[in-house]
Amino acid sequence: MIHFFKKKPYLRDLIPNNYIDIHSHLLPGIDDGAVTIGDTENLIKGLQEIGFKKFITTPHVMSDVWKNTSVEINQKLSATIQELKISDANSNIKAAAEYMMDAEFRELITKERLLTLKENYVLVEISYLSPPIQLYEILYELQTNGYQPVLAHPERYHFYHHSMNEYKKLKNVGCLFQLNMLSATGYYGEHVAKVSNSLLKEGLIDFIGSDVHHNRHLEAMHKKIVLKNHEYLTPIFQNNSIFDF
């Protein structure tokens, strides 16, 4: 059980109207997110009901698992928009990608233009098992090629949980951090919630994303916040406005 003592709001009540989500897996059948167009439609409608306005959906690009290319992702986006029975879908959904920082990603940086959240902001992740040996080299190469790395869900990397200095080192080399909003509800467990609280209190979080994959994630957005310092979330939700399109 998570034991934080302060009256907690529900997550859905902290999400501002016209919120712009920068991390989701809404395109059907392209990764471990939505499976069918019906799943996509249900997720979007459910998210719209709690304040979501625009969606930058970010399919995984991961060697040997989801080898999605920029062309394939954009083709899937176009097909999805045509099938959706949601008004203004064309103007409220765009695609970027969530890139695993692995060996193939290093090659990709120089071979083609990455799909970005906006301008040069690119969403990246690392393995939950361990960081890549050449993590800092990859981040350097990203930046020398003109990209601004945004690290997805830093709070979920358990190997960093006992060293706030490792997080600060990543920030010091120019990496921005995107918190998963469900981490604030305890969805990923007590340790992830506690680290989320610490990262927020230290001022290390820049943006918030849903990372929604399926209906269970949607349902969890109706749960209460467990964080002691949940007030830090409000201005960070507003930071996402820079990604408007």
Residue 55's SS3 state is: strand
Residue 119 lies in a domain: yes
What is the predicted pLDDT for the residue at 6? 57
Residue 9 lies in a domain: no
Residue 223 lies in a domain: yes
What is the predicted pLDDT for the residue at 86? 86
Beta bridge partners of 123: 98, 150
Q: How many domains does the chain have?
A: 1
Query: What pTM, to 2 d.p., does this model score?
Result: 0.95
What is the predicted pLDDT for the residue at 229? 85
Measured between alpha carbons, how far is 208 from 221 in angstroms, rounded to an integer?
13
Residue 139 lies in a domain: yes
Phi, psi of 121 (to 5 degrees): -75, 120
Measured between alpha carbons, how far is 58 from 96 in angstroms, rounded to an integer?
5
Residue 177 lies in a domain: yes
Residue 11 lies in a domain: no
What is the predicted pLDDT for the residue at 103? 87
Spans of the chain below 50 pLDDT: 1-5
Domain assignment of residue 78, given as a range: 17-243
CATH number of residue 103's parent domain? 3.20.20.140
Measured between alpha carbons, how far is 187 from 85 in angstroms, rounded to an integer?
30
Residue 112 lies in a domain: yes
Paired tokens of 54:
């625009």
- The strands making up 148-152's β-sheet, listed across from edge to edge, are 60-61, 98-100, 121-125, 148-152, 176-180, 207-209
Residue 122 lies in a domain: yes
- Cα-atom radius of gyration of the chain, to the nearest Å? 17
Q: How far is CA 120 from the centre of its chain?
A: 16
